[in-house]
A = this chain, B = another copy of it.
Amino acid sequence: MTLEQLDFLLWLAIQEDLGHGDVTTDSVVEQAREGRAVVIGREPFVLSGTKVFRRIFELLDPAIQIENFFRDGEKIQPGIPVFGLEGSLKTMLTGERTALNFVQRLCGVATITSKMVQEISEYSCRLLDTRKTTPLWRKLEKEAVGHGGGTNHRFGLADGVLIKDNHIVAAGGIEKAIEKARQCAPHTLKIEVEVDDLDQFDIALQAGADIILLDNFSPEMMKEAVKRNNGRVLLEASGGVVLEKIKAIAETGVDFISCGALTHSAKSIDLTMEIEFASSS
């Protein structure tokens, strides 16, 4: 996402909240009033969204000063200032909610990712995101997964071949699906096939898949697949991946674990903006 694309989305979001104006702040706060503010968390979290936070306020008011006390990916304790703002009070009050709505979610994604990555840190296995992202925020959420230590799977439908159950039925079987993909899909893309059991796994392996996705396999089935594969192709596990079970999956020896909950069910981090008023003597 180039800066221009990001700004476009942020403007839409600002306009959504702002409409024709912030009637409270415009009425109650003097135009020229200046101040400082900090954003702090009320729980520990991994930071993501620094670029978004800064741009929202800059778009509203090029004169405001934003300071990042941390970089994306850092772990932050509650009560520690994460962002500093200095400038127009009206700008701060008007942009606060939109900025926090973004950053709270993105920090939530980075934080759950980080916890899962921590769980599997002693294995070579890597944690992947999925396409189960919030519509319009895929790039930002995938960056947040990266800030949490995760790895990005394909961005969308155009940059990866992933043959799922419905594709297999439509094509008339795994072999035919792989054969068609080999003929028609860009030669620069690997071919990944989702399988439901070990029989399908064997067929996919035989038919020349480059990556095999083990969907809802038990750890025992995963181990068997790893054994049969013997290092030939990349193996990815998915389905019902939660913090409590991820270590057991990583132990099976699969190369990747993909987890939709990183983005579709991340809990927002509780952040608050605290404004410091200069004494108006």
Q: A17 near B: Cβ within 8 Å? A: yes
Q: A64 near B: Cβ within 8 Å? A: no
Could you tell me if A24 and B181 are in contact, using CB atoms closer than 8 angstroms?
A: yes
Known: A22-B157, A101-B133, A132-B97. A138 touches B28 (CB 8 A): no
Question: Which of A70-78, A115-123, A163-171, A200-208 has 4 or more CB atoms under 8 Å from chain B?
Answer: A163-171
Partner of A157, one of B25, B181, B184: B25
Question: Which of A79-87, A219-227, A264-272 has 4 or more CB atoms under 8 Å from chain B?
Answer: A264-272
Question: Within A179-216, which residues are at the interface with B (CB < 8 Å)?
Answer: 180-181, 183-190, 192, 211
Question: CA of A178 to CA of B43 in the docked complex: distance in angstroms?
Answer: 34
Task: Tell me the nearest residue of chain B to A171, going by C-beta.
Answer: B28
Known: A17-B138, A24-B157. A189 touches B189 (CB 8 A): yes
Could you tell me if A19 and B157 are in contact, using CB atoms closer than 8 angstroms?
A: yes
Could you tell me if A265 and B268 are in contact, using CB atoms closer than 8 angstroms?
A: yes
Count of chain A residues near B, Cβ 8 A: 91
Partner of A104, one of B136, B169, B264: B264
Could you tell me if A98 and B159 are in contact, using CB atoms closer than 8 angstroms?
A: no
Could you tell me if A132 and B183 are in contact, using CB atoms closer than 8 angstroms?
A: no
Question: CA of A8 to CA of B177 in the docked complex: distance in angstroms?
Answer: 34
Q: A105 near B: Cβ within 8 Å? A: yes
Could you tell me if A28 and B135 are in contact, using CB atoms closer than 8 angstroms?
A: no
A33 contact set on B, CB distance < 8 A: 170
Question: CA of A189 to CA of B166 in the docked complex: distance in angstroms?
Answer: 23
Could you tell me if A156 and B20 are in contact, using CB atoms closer than 8 angstroms?
A: yes
Known: A16-B138, A27-B184, A280-B172. A21 touches B133 (CB 8 A): no
Question: A237: shortest Cβ distance to chain B, in Å?
Answer: 14
Could you tell me if B21 and A158 are in contact, using CB atoms closer than 8 angstroms?
A: yes
Known: A60-B2, A267-B265. A188 touches B160 (CB 8 A): yes
Closest 8 CB pairs of A and B: A19-B158, A160-B188, A27-B184, A13-B135, A159-B159, A22-B157, A27-B185, A29-B170
